[in-house]
Chains A and B, each alone.
Chain A
Amino acid sequence: MNDPSKLDPPFLKEWMANYVCGVLGLDRAAFSTADRFDTYGLDSVEAVIMAGVMEEEFQVIVDPHRFFETPSIDEFTAAFTAPAA
């Protein structure tokens, strides 16, 4: 598939929030998708692993560098699912 614009942004946002909370043992109810990845301790290794899981789950190519360019779930999902210019 590899067309991220076909992903539903709210669904992707929720998926990522659940993934991060599951991996880091965070309370989803207290977690904000606006927070930067590094503020809750998602390190670069875990970011690359998450990219691999997303590729497997959604059949899209995920460049882990994008987590650093758009360093929150809100920013990432907005940029990732935006139609290609």
Chain B
Amino acid sequence: MPRVSLVVIAYEMARELPRTLLSLSPPYQETDADDYEIIVIDNGSRIPPRQQDFIHLKANIRLLSCSTQSPSPVAAINEGLKHARGSLIGVWIDGARMASPGLLRACTEAAALHPRPVIATLNYQLGPDLQRISTAHGYDQTTEDELLSSIAWPQHGYRLFEIATAEIRGGPLGAMLESNAIFLPRALWDELGGYDEAFQEPGGGVANPDTFVRAVALPGTQLIRVLGEGTFHQIHGGLSTSTQERAIEMLKEGSRAYLRLRGKPLVPVRARGWTFDSRTRAVER
């Protein structure tokens, strides 16, 4: 039985998903394949990913298709959570996000620090600026491929930080709207009820921030930010990263939907929480 499950949602990511899964594979993460499983839920791609395309990764990967059809990934995530067998589960709402090489081990170690941990990894976007901005200056998939080649990825996984931009503008301890690789123990996912399927907008709207905010608000939970690791978004025409105007409109609409649903404004998590630095194994409480 795997100790950790990773739930990765994919939709039309023929270019991006192979890199993401490579970044989650045992050699890259320097972990034992038996320790964890990767559950990929395809959310309706015209050409779904195939198991045989990932055999070379020597990872415990299960490829499944979401049983319902929706432009929102939320139902797919909840299906993934049902299939997950690990006692610690990490969710990738966006399968276009590659991981740094020690992310899995760091999250596992961070989870052991508290009985009710909410493990938040930091979001980065490949390229010289946030992709919604850099696309206006010519950043595209070709540029991104060249950038990855320039750092000899995947041989040098941590060099991803050299070619990426942090999403949190206030630094790693700043206000945090979401984490795109969020880890909770199985029991906390159950207590949370998974992702809220009321978020039916394309891309899920603000379902991911909502999940993060609700998890941190659960009684007795402890937010732990993992430093020195991250997830790195590959450009793929996603709703919040393709253009500045689209990103603003999506967040504004998400804010309205959240207010209607929750009866209060969406407020990023400002609590610093604990930090776990994967480079030094240092914990700051």
Q: Which residues of A pack against B, CB within 8 Å?
A: 19, 22-25, 41, 43-46, 48-53, 55-56, 62, 64
Contact = CB atoms under 8 A, between A and B. Distances in A.
B252 A43 contact: no
B268 to A, nearest CB: 7
A62 B255 CA distance: 12
Interface of B: 169-170, 174-175, 177, 248, 251-256, 258-260, 265-268, 270
A45 to B, nearest CB: 6
A52 B267 contact: no
- Of the listed residues A19, A45, A53, the one surrounded by the most CB atoms of chain B closer than 10 A to its CB is A45
A46 B209 CA distance: 13
B169 A51 contact: no
Given A41-B170, A45-B177, 18 more contacts: A19-B265, A24-B270, A43-B174, A45-B169, A48-B248, A48-B252, A49-B251, A49-B252, A49-B255, A49-B265, A49-B266, A52-B251, A53-B256, A55-B256, A56-B255, A56-B256, A64-B248, A64-B252
B206 to A, nearest CB: 9
A22 to B, nearest CB: 8
A62 B256 CA distance: 12
Nearest to B206: A49
Nearest to B257: A52
- What are the 6 closest A-B residue pairs judged by CB atoms, nearest first? A52-B255, A52-B252, A49-B255, A52-B256, A48-B251, A56-B256
Contacts of A19: 265
Contact of B259 (A23, A24, A56): A56
B265 A23 contact: yes
A48 B252 CA distance: 6
Contacts of A64: 248, 252
23 contacts: A23-B267, A43-B174, A43-B175, A45-B169, A45-B177, A46-B175, A46-B268, A49-B251, A49-B266, A49-B267, A50-B255, A50-B265, A51-B252, A52-B253, A52-B254, A52-B255, A52-B256, A52-B259, A53-B255, A53-B259, A55-B256, A56-B255, A64-B252
Contacts of A43: 169-170, 174-175
